[in-house]
Chain A
């Protein structure tokens, strides 16, 4: 039996679609209004967070309700570095993510003592601990938070237009980068391991995958990239408070609903979910609590009807797969 190369049935169409979307998004600062640009930035940051949660939950089965720990930690470390270390902002951002990744080692070691649903709640406790500790740091504004000073912000670029441009391309890099990295990862040896773990843990262990180690590395890697996105989100907001940084609604509920409604365990699912989420939000601006109630009900509905979400429904209606990750074996 030989392994055939990754086959590309209908691949040209999907590749063209991906290419056109990337070009349109890359050119956004030249065609979009400031409002649209801000919305795109937010959507791209959410896409990055959603891809990371999906990698964690959809492929390695680690369901976390505490990813806000890493969004907030990334934001706080970034603010601390930007204000006190004198590092340029564009360096402080990855350094904050790297530090968060290092912190994820001991934190993950503790969280991994819990399994399944208890792991989920355990990650939530850890996020709460981060929030309460952040509120104790008076140098970072304690419970009421802190803003980035004008001088620090201006070091990014002096004019507002140029700043918008720099920030947009960071968001672009995060959103598109997260999709591409997950895609490349899933097509690699690691991807085979993830998919095997997702499909059957005992079977994957029996063919020599060190499940615990793979899961742990994925946990640390997603923590670092979630922190990178978190740093950017608060650079865009220019202000950070413990409640906003470690918000379970914003960084877990929304992200989880996006992935689940869009389709967990696929690359297209989170993309679809982000599009749905932002479309629904533009209609639901004045729904208040009903917006969250609707999202919660949709997520429950997905779990009852089809656990693979909207993407699976579309796929079964003949919509071609955009990001090929499956291999075909020819006897």
Chain B
């Protein structure tokens, strides 16, 4: 029964990783562009939540809306002002610009919030759990996160496949050069994609803030988890990122069960194994 418990924990953790991965996957899907500062933006969202709710005393619901709005705005403007200028055939500039952003964000957050590790308390929800028959218990918080992850992915699915904006984004993903010829504004579409991705990043950051302690240097490992979930799931597959997140989550939780120091390593090793055995991922839809 202990192992069933471990498995459930891993699957629920996978939901959080799928949230981390969704934003990364979306930006790559539309723009063939990988944001190295992705993890640092997740941590930035976590600090925004901390500032609004803990420091300024806002209601959590208001805090969530504010974080999503602020991150979405940063995403739209950042893409239009900075990132659109460096996107092109040469892959070096976008990698370097986002790597530079990552270093700036980490050190900027260090200056503003200090290196102390922080957490946003969600009150009674932190320790609540649901008992199941056979000695199983599911924490309310991990379950809520998993449900939120499913909700976000479902929302993205509807957006992509059942709206006009989604059609435009898919068209851009297929051939970005054609978009202007069809009367679309490429710079605007790219910025919209980043805005949506940043909204997802905001939700991921809020979840991070409520689930664990975080500090300004927590970003890079979040980027690596997101990246691993994307590759395991298969490039360009929305629901693949959920599968990737779950595989990674289960690997980490099982690793931690074997030895506490083995948690992160086990996740990385399973990722490398899948890269060797099935480099296109579990549900690949496009080529890197």
Write the residues of chain A forming the contact surface with B, with a CB cutoff of 8 angstroms: 57, 61, 63, 65, 110, 113-118, 120-122, 124-126, 128-129, 132-133, 135-136, 143, 248-249, 253, 256-257, 260, 264, 288-290, 292-293, 295-297, 299-300, 303-304, 307
Contact = CB atoms under 8 A, between A and B. Distances in A.
Where chain A touches its partner, the secondary structure class is helix
A290 B268 contact: no
Given A57-B92, A113-B275, A290-B107, A253 B265 contact: no
Given A116-B34, A249-B103, A300-B97, 9 more contacts: A63-B92, A110-B272, A113-B275, A117-B91, A121-B36, A125-B227, A296-B101, A303-B96, A307-B90
Contacts of A256: 96, 99
Contacts of B90: 307
A117 B33 contact: yes
B220 interface: yes
Contact of B100 (A118, A249, A299): A299
Contact of A300 (B101, B108, B221): B101
Contacts of A299: 96-97, 99-100
Interface in B82-118: 82, 85-86, 90-97, 99-104, 106-108, 110-111
A128 B268 contact: yes
B103 A293 contact: yes
Contacts of A120: 34, 36, 95
B261 A264 contact: no
B107 A289 contact: yes
Nearest to A58: B92
A114 B228 contact: no
A264 B95 CA distance: 14
B20 to A, nearest CB: 13
A118 B228 contact: no
Given A290-B111, A295-B103, A307-B92, A110 B227 contact: no
B223 interface: yes
B92 A118 contact: no
A118 B99 contact: no
A132 B252 CA distance: 14
Interface string B211-239: 00000000011011001100100000000
Contacts of A295: 103
A128 B224 contact: yes
A292 B107 contact: yes
